[in-house]
Each structure stands twice: as C-alpha cells, then as structure tokens.
C-alpha cells in the first residue's frame, strides 16, 4: 500500500485568520490547504488522506464541533486541533470527548500551534502505521488452515506441543509440522512475536 504525503488542512471562515495561518505554517516549512467552511472541506476530504486538521469552532453553516461529529461518522481518524476565538470549558470538554487532539484559544503563539501540528502529524503517522500493521496480521491469520489456527490459539495460550497434541488428539509430530507452518505464514520469528501479534489484533 502506497502512502499519500501528509497534509495540513485549515478550516476557518475568517479570511484574515485563514490567510495568516497558511503563511505561518508556510514560514515553518509546512504547506497547507485552507477552506472557508466545513462544507467546503467535507466535499473534498478523503479519509485515506493522512495529515491533520486545524479547525475553527465557530463558523456559520456548520460549526467545527458539528464537523468533527461528521468526520467521526465517516470513520475519519484525522487528528483535529480546534482553534477558537471564545472558548468555554463545556465546549472544550465536548470537543475532547469526541476525540479532539487539542484545543487552542486565539490568539496563540506560533510555537504552540506548530508544536501541536507536528505532534498531530506524528500521531497520525503512528495511528496509520499501527492500523496497517494490524491489517497485515489479519491478512496472515486469514491464510491459516482451520487446524493451523487451532494450533496457534493453543500455543499462544502457552501450551507445549505435547499438550496441544493431547488436546487435538493428534501426534506430537503433526503438531510440530502445523506449528512450523503457522510461524512461516505469520512471519513470526519467535513465539513471543506471535503472541504480540495476537495481542495487537485482539478485540
């Protein structure tokens, strides 16, 4: 799977704020795409696009909080940095409860914003990598035969080959062969690695 380059999106209805944010990000070497309304952004946003979002809370038409809700419904996990001209605590609490990355009050210092943008981008990269990792584990699990899956479940419970053979009513030798296939298909170098993989995809 090929990674798209990261992008910073700015959504604010105030022309001056939007324009100055773009310039500030640019001065820090970060290119950004700006939008004057939530609707404008939602119309073009693709959830597969990695990056982060700088979002104004108070906007005509659809507020920042409403847009966050809409993104959640779409399963978009892009980190959202809220900016607001008049923040109150209930508003901030609501935003954080719905998974906001951070909450900044206008006006803010450049380092505050840039630091959060950098961290949000790093978080997004991590999240996406983690998701890619678990996706791969699930693919490998799907390639196992039913018998191989049974063996995997028993060995990751900590059972020795002899016990697994007893449980399944087969010879110890047969278990050893299945186990070798499991390690190969799961691309696991050790039992410990196999256990970690199973924990990563555990529900």
Chain residues binding other proteins by CB under 8 A are 14, 16-17, 19-21, 23-24, 26-28, 38-39, 42, 58, 60-63, 66-67, 69-70, 83-86, 88, 105-110
Q: How far is the CB of 61 from other proteins (least distance, A)?
A: 5
Select 72 or 143, whichever has its Cβ closest to other proteins.
72
Select 3 or 110, whichever has its Cβ closest to other proteins.
110
Q: Which residue has the tokens 């990674």?
A: 3
- Cβ atoms 106, 83 nearer than 8 A: yes
Dig out the tokens for 189 from the structure: 């170098």
Which of 64, 19, 16 minimizes the C-alpha distance to 37? Answer: 64
Q: How far is the CB of 28 from other proteins (least distance, A)?
A: 6
- Cβ atoms 66, 44 nearer than 8 A: no
Q: How far is the CB of 160 from other proteins (least distance, A)?
A: 56
Which of 68, 71, 27, 13 minimizes the C-alpha distance to 46? Answer: 71
Q: How far is the CB of 53 from other proteins (least distance, A)?
A: 16
């Amino acid at each position: 799977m090929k990674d798209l380059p990261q992008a910073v999106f700015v959504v604010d209805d105030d022309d001056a704020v939007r324009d100055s944010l773009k310039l500030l990000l640019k001065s820090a070497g970060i290119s950004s795409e700006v939008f004057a309304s939530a609707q404008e952004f939602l119309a073009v946003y693709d959830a597969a696009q990695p990056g982060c979002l700088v979002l104004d809370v108070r906007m005509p038409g659809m507020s920042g909080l409403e847009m966050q809700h809409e993104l959640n419904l779409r399963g978009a996990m892009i980190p959202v940095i809220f900016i607001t001209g008049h923040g109150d605590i209930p508003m901030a609490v609501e935003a954080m409860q719905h998974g906001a990355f951070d909450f900044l009050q206008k006006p803010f210092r450049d380092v505050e914003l840039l630091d959060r943008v950098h961290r949000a981008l790093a978080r997004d990269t991590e999240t996406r990598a983690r998701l890619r990792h678990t996706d791969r584990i699930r693919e490998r699990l799907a390639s196992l035969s039913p018998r191989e899956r049974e063996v995997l479940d028993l060995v990751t419970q900590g059972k020795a080959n002899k016990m697994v053979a007893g449980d399944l009513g087969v010879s110890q030798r047969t278990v050893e062969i299945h186990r070798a296939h499991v390690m190969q298909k799961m691309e696991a170098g050790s039992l410990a690695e196999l256990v970690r993989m199973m924990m990563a995809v555990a529900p």
